[in-house]
Structure 1
Amino acid sequence: MAEYRIDELARFAGTTSRNVRAYQERGLLPPPRKEGRVGIYTETHLARLRLITSLHDRGYTSAQIAELIAGWEQGRNLGEVLGLEEALNSPWTDEIPTYLPTEQIRAFLAADLTAEPGLFDRIVRLGLLKPEGDQCLVPSPQLISTVAELVSRGFPLADLLTLHEAISPAIDDVARRMVEAGSAHLIEEHGEAWLPVDGEVGEITELLQRLRQLAMSSVQGLLAHAMERHVADVMGEHLVRVIKQQAPETGV
């Protein structure tokens, strides 16, 4: 099981160390294991922290969240509860968010920012970067690395951002549909007001983990086949145009 110090835990959960300490003081987050004077957190803490952050984003107060968590834990095994939280809130990617100096990012974008001064703000609005003082949090280093490589190969950054803006809603819609399908199946099987009781938590946790694997593999496969078809179509059309342009004119 992965282990984190408080700063790492906060970064992975998309919050601050100050919030982590506040949640501990309010009893929302279990205390860390101590190694000397250093607190060591686990994936269980990360899952709980992501749940708290998600509920806060939906407008719940800390008092309401504490009540929800207390009600959920009452009469149930805490280990099972935290296991379900981990399955619900654990990341679907192995990517590790990282920080880059804001000055370094602006230097890399210098030419694009000269042509389009609002480009940096546009990147931030898309959630690709999150400024924090003199540094920027990069939620998806892999995505940023891909964009940087494409820019180095001559692709205009503004065009890549436009493509990202067009693709993101479609991907989000696919993800929501898949989650709603899983939710609808559980509701149909157990009823609208169902919550897993002792003995069912482990089963639901295993189901969620399996659904995650199936969702990722199926989407990856569909995308690969679709890309294959479209590459063939687009390149085929291009070759036909080139051949027509280069074909010698024949008189009748």
Structure 2
Amino acid sequence: MPKTPPPIPPSSDAPSVPASATPRNEYTVDELARVTDTTVRNVRAYQDRGLLEPPEKRGRVGVYDDTHVSRLKLINHLLTRGYTLANIQDLIMAVDEGHDLRSILGLETAIGSRWSRERPKKYSLLELLQMFGDKASPSALGKAVDLGLLERDGLSFVSGSPTALAAGATMAKEGIPLADLLDAVGIARPHFNAVAKALVDLVVRQLDRYDADALPPPADVPALVDAIWRVRPLAMVLVESEMNRALEEASGDYLGDRVAAIMEKKLGHAPEGTAAERTAAKKDKPRK
């Protein structure tokens, strides 16, 4: 039997953002396939089997949204767990018939939808050369593909984050070697993955109030979904705040060390105490 915790109280620090009022990402069928790591053919097949709702028609174009993203992620996850499409179809039919499985699948969009509103963008090799100049060497492009920053699409490349790509191009034009920039991404990624895991745990911990093998009661789902939508943007604020703090500390330490080195050269001798003692004293000094 599921636990029956008290209703989730509304937060006084953040406005209530019901799922229906949350801005949604929109995708063409190609973009949908790309962001969910599947194929257009699979998307069509899942629609034909009733596993995926058809897109909204705007003229001759089908428009998908985050509900399709979360459903495809669920299908992909269940397939990797060994379930067949027939099993998953039975599950979806049970949901459509109003069984309690709706309680967990009703959280699909709140938990599984994309956190970014960026749309993937395709670039020709010429466009990348215009952005990065001669720094867009074959080895650099290959490393960017290995890191998932770019995806090959025939003779073109697709970026899942055009903003990040533009930022990298600007940094390269400012003289930062592209190889060093890509190395920094590779070094930082495991740390970002750890931070993301911790923050996703915060979001989905709302489900820990129930038994691991039990579903939330249907009556609890609206408040649960509402709470998750409130926590998501707050988690992003926390990431930005902590990143700003870390950058300020790292750049301040570097500036202080650089100035100290100049003073040592000018004075002809180092200040009293070892480097470790000076660092410890700096950390012990009260902040103003």
Q: Using structure 1 for the length normalisation, give the TM-score.
A: 0.82
1:159 to 180, 185, 188: 180
**1:83-232 maps to which residues of 2 (within 5 A)?**
83-105=106-128, 111-112=134-135, 117-184=138-205, 186-187=207-208, 189-232=209-252
Q: Which runs of 4+ in 1 moved over 6 A?
A: 77-82
Q: Paired residue for 2:260, among 215, 240, 246?
A: 240
In structure 2, do the counterparts of structure 1 residues 46 and 121 end up closer, same or farther at CA, with 3 Å as the change threshold? Answer: same
| Residue in structure 1 matched with residue 75 of structure 2 by the alignment | 52
Shift in alpha-carbon separation, 1:118–1:50, aligned structure 2, 3 A: same
Instruction: Quickly say closer, same or farther: Cα 1:40–1:170, change in 2 above 3 A.
Output: closer
Structure 2 CA distance for partners of 1:205 and 1:163, relative to 1, 3 Å: same
Residue 221 of structure 1 aligns with an amino acid whose one-letter code is S
Match of 1:16 among 30, 34, 39: 39
What's the CA shift string for 1:111-165, capped at 9, x where partnerless?
Answer: 3465xx5332221110000101122110111111111111000001111111111
Which residue of structure 1 lines up, in the alignment, with residue 55 of structure 2? 32
Letter in 2 for 1:75: G
The 1:200–1:146 alpha-carbon spacing in structure 2 relative to 1, beyond 3 Å, is same
Say whether the 8 Å CA contact 1:102–1:131 is kept in structure 2.
no
Equivalent of residue 75 in structure 1, options 82, 88, 98 = 98
Matches of 1:24 and 1:103, distance apart in 2: 37
Q: 1:112 to 1:40 in 2, by over 3 A?
A: closer
Give the match for residue 64 of structure 2: 41
Contact residue 120 and residue 158 of structure 2 kept, 8 A: yes
Question: 1:192 and 1:34 mapped to 2: Cα distance?
Answer: 39
On the 8 A contact 1:76/1:198 being kept in 2, the answer is no
Within 2, Cα distance between the matches of 1:80 and 1:102? 47
RMSD: 3.0
Larger helix proportion of the pair = 1
Q: Residues 219 and 146 of structure 1: is their aligned pair in 2 closer, same or farther, counting only changes over 3 Å?
A: same
| Offset at residue 100 of structure 1 (A) | 0.8
Cα gap change, 1:70/1:106 in structure 2, threshold over 3 Å: closer, same or farther?
A: farther
Higher relative contact order (CA 8 A, sep 6+): 2
Structure 1 residues 52-61 or 123-132, which shifts more?
A: 52-61
SS of alignment partner, residue 28 of structure 1:
coil
- How much identity, in percent, do the aligned residues show? 36
State how far apart, in whole Å, the 1-side matches of 2:66 and 2:204 are.
24
**What letter corresponds to residue 199 of structure 1 in structure 2?**
A
Q: Distance in 1 between matches of 2:144 and 2:119?
A: 19
Map of 2:279 onto structure 1:
none
CA distance in 1, matches of 2:55, 2:136: 44
User: Which segment drifts farther, 235-244 or 38-47?
Assistant: 38-47
Which amino acid in 2 is paired with 1:120?
L
Structure 1, unmatched stretches of 5+, are none
